[in-house]
């Protein structure tokens, strides 16, 4: 398409929009700032579900029992997924308003062998599907995969740490994810304009002088840009198969949602990353819907219906996973995270009517874990929006909250969350996801001189075990420091290998096509077992801890005399140890060079893998027994935060965001009665807790408003709770999709009966 034709098409699609920098260059943020309408009112304008919406959603929910019973509903087992690999599919061809599925039928999963053939074959065998001998030959003999490349380059030290579970959950056997394409660009500009921009970026590289220091990087970028252009062309082909020409910009609200969704759909057809997040779309979409409402093209009911249909499509994104993956990330999460609300850099709230509409889907369609609804909270948000958010949380336990006040100064006001708690500027930043290391186990290595407490193998640096009969805090800290040095070096080396190979063998073509060329990269490290390690150090410092040794001298247990302050009760004696752990490990990680000069970041997050990490970790000096789950994320250890909801949250708020910019996850469960006696009081109190937590530098809060009896009944009668949703570490999950072991872990967490 010629530049002249692109400009003519854009002129019609952009009619009524205020101009700005966005017209001359790809700049979605500027478009939003010039054209969005803040909404300061309440939820009274919202519309319920239409008969059409209810009928379409029922076609999906009727399939859920079979999917839950079998583990998967269906699999396209013989077609490697690409943007254009599968024929078009619909839920209801006559009723779908927003169209497009990952395969040719709803809930039918695709295979994605570029990440690793072994995982595809294992998942197919698990669910009883045939494994194609032809595809196996292709992906084991002719076409190398990410997984194969990683294990070719791993060192023996990395392999040993991985096997022991001190470095664990690494994205070496699944897609890394945590990359958010700016899917809005397709709606605003059309694909042809984006191809033109990418070709211009490639042309800039073609003109660079031959610099030996930049030679490899320049060649790689040229190839990546060529792949990005190719992927954009395939995106057009895929949309055309559904009868849409997305070469030019969207002209209506329905088209804006459809174009945006096609872009996201291309990403989830091509990649099965651990988090395939959506970005920050509600305020963007609202510009188009508001224009259509103002011109009489839409009613409020029709606007809500479009949003409902979009959300239905996002709810049914599925990936084929192995049982090992499901242990780490239980409940079939996809992390289609949508970031809502926040405050602009000019002080205007970024809340629109569509911010409400997205949350309203939790009523119109019922509670659900996906998309992962994430509200950017600020005390300065409009009161009507704050109260509606609190109401939705009380009714559905489906929303997480993140501090706009901490993110905006660092990432700007066009920031979105990838996965759970990872902030990034949309279209200008991506991360190399790094899972996490096990700090609790590292402390045990300090006591045992680098030997693993479960296997007895020498995994960490050999320093000789502590031989005293009572653990001395200073001696333990010195040895802990040595083990953390080794762990940080091993960890960053592993991540460099992983992301080198992912770029080489499983590059995210369409997602990166929807980024600027000069993208900011972060190396997203993480820590697990924070509360176990902090409480263990507290016990050693404030109580009397005696190691128990086996016949080989390996410390396998600990006897505790006296009491110690536990992290999670707003007691600085314990909380400062948790703060020190976060700061110290971040310092050590920063010492090591990273692939593509990525900036070091760190998260305190576990997903549901706190159960797996607990299994891999022996008895700890805090009194936790071998195999018992860790607490999730940055949470205090289950049951030890005995001073109420607020004290627990204030302890977590002390953790320094500047040393954990990949996010700090807090998951709290409070009973309805604890929030207040009346619905109005509960709404007011929950909004007040969120205001206070964010004002105290808290970063993230999952809010569950539940009684324990509800979960117990759901365990016994899952058929009665098909959409019961709870927040876990950084995401939401259908409770009945968790394993029994993970359900019990949720039940064992603190249910705060008082603020």
Dig out the tokens for 185 from the structure: 């660009």
Contact 703, 696 (CB under 8 A): no
pLDDT at 211: 80
Listed as own residue / partner, the contacts of 138-141 with beta carbons closer than 8 Å and 24 or more positions apart are 139/113, 139/114
Q: Which residues contact 404 (CB under 8 A, 6 or more apart)?
A: 341, 342, 343, 376, 377, 378, 694
More confident residue, 645 or 228: 228
Q: pLDDT band at residue 1, thresholds of 50, 70 and 90?
A: very low
Give the C-alpha distances (Å, rounded to integers) separating 102 from 86, 247, 291, 317, 332.
8, 21, 30, 7, 16
Mean pLDDT of 623-633: 96
Give the C-alpha distances (Å, rounded to integers) separating 587 from 275, 314, 582.
27, 39, 9
pLDDT at 327: 83
Give the C-alpha distances (Å, rounded to integers) separating 363 from 54, 55, 150, 166.
11, 15, 44, 42
Q: What is the pLDDT of residues 109-146, one digit of tens each?
A: 999 999 999 999 999 999 999 999 999 999 999 999 99
Q: What is the pLDDT of residues 681-735, one digit of tens each?
A: 999 999 999 999 999 999 999 999 999 999 999 999 999 999 999 998 878 999 9
- SS3 per-residue string spanning 652-677: HHCCCHHHCCCEECCEEEECHHHHCC
Rounded Cα gap, residues 718 and 503, in angstroms: 42
pLDDT at 3: 53
Listed as own residue / partner, the contacts of 128-131 with beta carbons closer than 8 Å and 24 or more positions apart are 129/75, 129/77, 130/77, 130/78, 131/77
Q: Which residues contact 157 (CB under 8 A, 6 or more apart)?
A: 490
Domain boundaries, the chain: 145-173+429-567+581-640+655-663
Mean pLDDT of 632-640: 95
Which residues are the active-site residues?
419-420
With a cut of 90, say whether residue 330 has pLDDT above it.
no
Q: pLDDT band at residue 321, thresholds of 50, 70 and 90?
A: very high
With a cut of 50, say whether residue 411 has pLDDT above it.
yes
Mean pLDDT of 358-381: 98
Name the 3-class secondary structure at 468: coil
Contact 356, 342 (CB under 8 A): no
Mean per-residue pLDDT of the chain: 96
Contact 616, 531 (CB under 8 A): no
pTM listed for this prediction: 0.97
With a cut of 80, say whether residue 282 has pLDDT above it.
yes
Give the C-alpha distances (Å, rounded to integers) separating 705 from 353, 648, 711.
25, 16, 12
Mean pLDDT of 545-552: 98
Give the C-alpha distances (Å, rounded to integers) separating 346 from 26, 349, 405, 642.
21, 9, 13, 41
Q: What is the pLDDT of residues 529-540, one digit of tens each?
A: 999 999 999 999
Beta carbons within 10 angstroms of residue 707's beta carbon: 14
pLDDT at 402: 99
Mean pLDDT of 53-57: 99
Bridge partners (DSSP) of residue 111 are 80
């Amino acid at each position: 398409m010629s530049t002249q034709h692109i400009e003519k098409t854009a002129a019609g699609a952009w009619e009524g929009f205020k101009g700005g920098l966005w017209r001359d260059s790809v700049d979605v943020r500027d478009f939003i700032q010039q054209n969005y309408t803040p909404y300061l009112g309440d939820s009274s304008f919202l519309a319920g579900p239409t008969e059409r919406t209810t009928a379409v959603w029922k076609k999906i929910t009727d399939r859920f029992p079979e999917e839950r019973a079998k583990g998967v509903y269906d699999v396209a087992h013989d077609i490697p997924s690409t943007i254009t690999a599968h024929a078009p599919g619909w839920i209801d061809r006559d009723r779908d308003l927003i169209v497009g599925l990952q395969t040719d039928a709803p809930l039918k999963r695709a295979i994605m062998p570029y990440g690793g053939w072994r995982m595809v074959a294992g998942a197919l065998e698990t669910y009883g599907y045939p494994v194609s001998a032809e595809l196996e030959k292709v992906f084991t003999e002719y076409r190398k995969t990410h997984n194969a490349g990683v294990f070719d380059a791993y060192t023996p030290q990395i392999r040993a740490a991985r096997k022991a579970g001190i470095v664990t959950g690494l994205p070496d056997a699944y897609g890394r994810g945590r990359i958010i394409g700016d899917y809005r660009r397709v709606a605003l500009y059309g694909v042809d304009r984006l191809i033109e921009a990418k070709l211009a970026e490639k042309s800039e590289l073609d003109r660079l002088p031959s610099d030996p220091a930049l030679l490899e990087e320049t060649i790689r970028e040229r190839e990546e840009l060529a792949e990005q252009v190719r992927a954009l062309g395939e995106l057009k082909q895929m949309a055309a198969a559904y009868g849409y020409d997305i070469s030019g910009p969207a002209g209506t609200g329905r088209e804006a949602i459809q174009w945006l969704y096609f872009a996201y759909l291309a990403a989830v057809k091509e990649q099965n990353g651990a988090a395939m997040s959506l970005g920050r779309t509600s305020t963007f979409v609202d510009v188009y819907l508001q224009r259509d409402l103002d011109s009489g093209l839409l009613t409020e009911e029709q606007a809500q219906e479009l949003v409902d249909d979009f959300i239905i499509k996002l709810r049914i994104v599925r990936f084929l996973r192995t049982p090992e993956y499901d242990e780490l990330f239980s409940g079939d999460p996809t992390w289609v995270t949508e970031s809502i609300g926040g405050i602009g850099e000019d002080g205007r709230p970024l809340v629109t009517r569509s911010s409400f509409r997205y949350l309203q889907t939790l009523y119109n369609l019922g509670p659900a874990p996906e998309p992962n609804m994430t509200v950017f909270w600020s005390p300065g948000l409009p009161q009507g929006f704050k109260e509606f958010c609190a109401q939705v949380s009380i009714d559905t336990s489906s929303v997480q909250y993140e501090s706009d006040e901490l993110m905006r100064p660092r990432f700007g006001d066009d920031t979105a969350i990838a996965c759970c708690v990872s902030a990034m500027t949309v279209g200008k930043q991506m991360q190399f996801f790094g899972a996490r290391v096990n700090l609790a186990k590292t402390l045990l290595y300090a006591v045992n001189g680098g030997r693993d407490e479960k296997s007895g193998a020498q995994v960490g640096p050999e320093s000789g075990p502590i031989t005293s009969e009572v653990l001395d805090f200073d001696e333990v800290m010195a040895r802990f420091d040595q083990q953390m040095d080794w762990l940080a070096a091993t960890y960053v080396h592993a991540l460099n290998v992983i992301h080198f190979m992912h770029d080489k063998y499983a590059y995210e073509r369409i997602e990166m096509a929807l980024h600027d060329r000069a993208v900011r990269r972060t190396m997203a490290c993480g820590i697990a077992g924070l509360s176990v390690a902090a409480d263990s150090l507290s016990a050693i410092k404030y109580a009397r801890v005696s190691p128990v040794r086996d016949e080989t001298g390996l410390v396998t247990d600990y006897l505790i005399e006296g009491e110690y302050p536990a992290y999670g009760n707003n007691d600085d004696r314990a909380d400062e140890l948790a703060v020190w752990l976060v700061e110290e490990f971040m310092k050590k990680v920063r010492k090591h060079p990273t692939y593509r000069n990525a900036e070091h970041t760190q998260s305190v997050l576990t997903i549901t893998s706190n159960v797996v990490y607990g299994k891999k970790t022996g008895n700890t000096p805090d009194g936790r027994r071998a195999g018992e789950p860790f607490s999730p994320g940055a949470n205090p250890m289950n049951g030890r935060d005995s001073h109420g909801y607020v004290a627990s949250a204030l302890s977590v708020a002390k953790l320094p965001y500047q040393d954990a910019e990949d996010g700090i996850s807090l998951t709290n469960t409070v009973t309805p009665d604890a929030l207040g006696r009346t619905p109005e009081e509960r709404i007011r109190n929950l909004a007040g807790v969120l205001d206070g937590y964010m004002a105290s530098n808290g970063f993230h809060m999952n809010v569950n408003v539940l009684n324990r009896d509800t979960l117990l009944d759901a365990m016994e009668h899952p058929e009665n709770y098909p959409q019961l949703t709870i927040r876990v570490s950084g995401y939401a999950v259908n409770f009945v999709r968790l394993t029994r072991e993970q359900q019990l872990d949720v039940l064992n967490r603190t249910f705060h009966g008082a603020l």
